[in-house]
Amino acid sequence: MTKSSNGGVQWTGLPVESDAAIREALALTGHDSRRLLVVDATGRIRRSTSAGASWSVTLDLPGITLCAVEYAPADADWAYAASTLGRVWCSNDGGGTWHELPRGVTLAPARPVNDIEIDPGDPRRVFVAFGANDITFGSDTRAVWRLDVASVNQTVWTDVSGESPASSLPPRLPITGLAIDPRAPDTLYAAHLLGVHRTVDGGGSWSPFDQGLPNCFVSDLDLHEPTRALYIATMGRGLYRLTL
């Protein structure tokens, strides 16, 4: 990993390595630029409180590989991490200590979590997007779930992949990225191998949202709130921007 403090003119290396295959390896908080979380190259969570000058391991689970980490936009004391088998941990002290969130009887898939997105106004309302170890899921896999975190010991998992087959996310397709509209937290965008879908009701129903895009693998997406621009990265077909 490298860092620039002058707009990209110069770069310096940081004493930590990650894995290029991890989609959500670095977490930043707008509350304190010195605080960072990263999934390192061995699948552990490291934290820096010195803007990347030094790092300490805060979550190391033998036999478990972590693959995503994220700070809550509304409260940087809350952070979330997920594993390649769909397990999720949370921290309420900025990433210093971690607690696994219970799954109960949920049928969430034991698959890699490609993205974690947290409600901009509620650090305990979390969305996770599941990927796959190969190109496709099984036909019955549900790919987007919402976690309502009452406490580190009490979490409700809700399938928000769509309530009916006609209005669900495409079956058999892993989700590669999520974005939440800060002005309307029930509006989410989901990227996948064939384009983008959108929901405006928190995941009850989804519909294609890819007019003007090529029919290709969308690898990630992000919403830039100050300009109301949705950016979409494709695999081999360039970068697209849509003003919302």
Does any domain span residue 58? no
Give per-residue pLDDT as tens, 125-174. Answer: 999 999 876 655 665 678 999 999 999 889 999 999 999 999 999 887 88
Looking at residue 207, which CATH number applies to its domain? 2.130.10.10
For the chain, what is the domain count? 1
Residues 34, 14 contacting (CB under 8 angstroms): no
Does any domain span residue 85? no
| Closest listed residue to residue 160, CA positions, set 118, 129, 136 | 129
DSSP 8-state class, residue 86: S
pLDDT-based confidence at 190, cuts 50/70/90? very high
Does any domain span residue 75? no
| Closest listed residue to residue 29, CA positions, set 12, 44, 51, 46 | 51
Q: Hey, what are 73's tokens?
A: 């936009």
Does any domain span residue 149? yes
Does any domain span residue 138? yes
Does any domain span residue 47? no
Q: Compute the distance between CA of residue 28 and CA of residue 31 in angstroms, rounded to an integer.
A: 9
Q: For residue 204, which amino acid is it? A: G
Give per-residue pLDDT as tens, 56-96. Answer: 999 999 999 999 999 999 999 999 999 999 999 999 999 99
Range of the domain at 169: 101-243
Give per-residue pLDDT as tens, 89-124. Answer: 999 999 999 999 998 778 888 899 999 999 999 999
